Amino acid sequence: MTGMHSYLAAAAVAFALSLFVNPTAGAAVVTSQSKYSTWMAESIMSRRQGIMTGQGGSSELLQAGITQHALTALAAQYPSGAETPRVVRYFQDSAASVIPFTLNATRDALSYPMDRLSNGNALLTLAAAYYSNGTASTQSRAAADALRRSIDLNRRNSEGGLWYYVYPEWSYLDGMYSLAPFYTEYALAAASSSSFRGVDGDGENATAEALDDMSYQLDLLWTRTRNATTGLLAHGYDASRTAVWADPVTGASPHVWGRSLGWYAMALVDTLEVLSHSSSTATAAIACTYRDRILEKWQSLATALINAVDAATGGWWQVLDEPGRDGNYIESSGTAMFAYALLKGARLGYLPAKEHNKAVPTGIRAHKYLTDTYVVREANGTLGYNGTVAVCSLNSTATYEYYVGQPINYNSVLGSAAYVLASLEVELLGR
């Protein structure tokens, strides 16, 4: 499939080969590991996490999406690894599990949070893998198309901002991780490939409209939630400014929740990668325009994250704007996300030299703290992962006490899959 040029495209060939050369690759098993990325990934698979069942609550599609992201990155980084056939098979199972739940665009838009879109790139990758082997992949492509169409059907506030879920007028940072890379990937593929016809048609106009909207969603959240002093972004905003927590001027929520900002940070870096790998002459100039806009945000946010790191531990607080306050703690999912984003952003050249030289040791130190503090070696040979907070919602008081009072979930894949991604970046550095 010419034009599949995303940050997942490098893995597509390896996936295709593994999917069909090893069509009956075995169930996940955990072996003696020397790499934390592989060890944690196999532990996730052994727990059957990231498989959509319809019984896992409102974050289940996001659990599947970040699992697919981590496994794709792992297979791409270690294509000859002994575990790769199992990883690829599990990726396929995870992507296939979401298809029955995502084929109806209207239901997607009205019944699921924007987190649903986190599965879009995996579905495109799966479709590309089948395509490259000359076999049909109508279901995975149909699901990807439905997810793309659901963006157009998603409810919006008066400013054109996408509702994160069913809460009127509310937009969250969280949704950008799922929206921006998929929206971008789909738009560029539609413009650059004669065999890929998008739901909004092909050509530069359709691509520019989609990328305009993607960039606008990032802009709205940036403008509405960013603290000019710290450079950090609050959890979300209410365009109507009627929520109990809404700032009367901006509509912003009052606190910086670590994981929501982690989703946004990953969205910036992953979308930059998609735009940077635009290989088509028809899309390169368009991609460059949006790349520059997002790069400016990422460089500003990276500086703010480096400044916000806890000096004693190297991690990041659950509530970033209240460091050291009684009840606050270093949270493991946000810390893993920030480590991943900083290390990947530095590796791909998205930071100037001064910030690059700070980002790398900051990311390495954060990963080491996570490994020493929150990674648990279980008796059965798997790795557990602790310190990940449950889902925090703006459908609440959004007070400091609310954020620090939410339960900690052991083995939450929202944390452990982010740890896999951070581990892969550390391993690329030879650590």
Model confidence over 348-390: pLDDT tens digits?
A: 999 999 999 999 999 999 999 999 999 999 999 999 999 999 9
Q: Report the mean per-residue pLDDT for the chain.
A: 90
pLDDT above 50 for 61? yes
Per-residue pLDDT tens over the stretch 276-322? 987 566 677 788 889 999 999 999 999 999 999 999 999 999 999 99
Would you say how long the chain is, in residues? Answer: 431
What end-to-end distance do the CA atoms of the chain give, in Å?
Answer: 35
Cβ–Cβ < 8 Å for 87, 14: no
Per-residue pLDDT tens over the stretch 206-224? 888 999 999 999 999 999 9
Pull the structure tokens for residue 217: 């969603």
Q: Which residues contact residue 242 at a Cβ distance below 8 angstroms, ignoring those fewer than 6 apart?
A: 169
Residue with tokens 């082997």: 133
- Name beta bridge partners: 233: 226
pTM of the model: 0.93
Cβ–Cβ < 8 Å for 61, 34: no
Place 126 in a pLDDT band, splitting at 50, 70 and 90: confident
Going by the DSSP 8-state scheme, the letter that residue 171 receives in this structure is: E
Cβ–Cβ < 8 Å for 340, 364: no
Q: Give backbone dihedrals phi and psi of 416, rounded to 5 degrees, phi first.
A: -70, -35
pLDDT above 50 for 17? no
Cβ–Cβ < 8 Å for 366, 339: yes
Predicted local distance difference test score (pLDDT) of residue 14: 47
What sign for the dihedral angle of Cα 420, 422, 428, 431?
A: negative
Query: 281-302: string of b/e by CB count within 10 Å (b at 16+)?
Result: ebbeebbeebbeebbebbbebb
Tell me which long-range contacts 45-51 makes (C-beta under 8 A, separation of at least 24): 45/86, 45/87, 45/90, 46/382, 47/382, 47/411, 49/411, 49/413, 49/416, 50/90, 50/94, 50/413, 50/417, 51/93, 51/94, 51/97
Predicted local distance difference test score (pLDDT) of residue 21: 40
Per-residue pLDDT tens over the stretch 133-167? 545 468 899 999 999 999 999 999 999 999 999 99
Cβ–Cβ < 8 Å for 254, 322: no
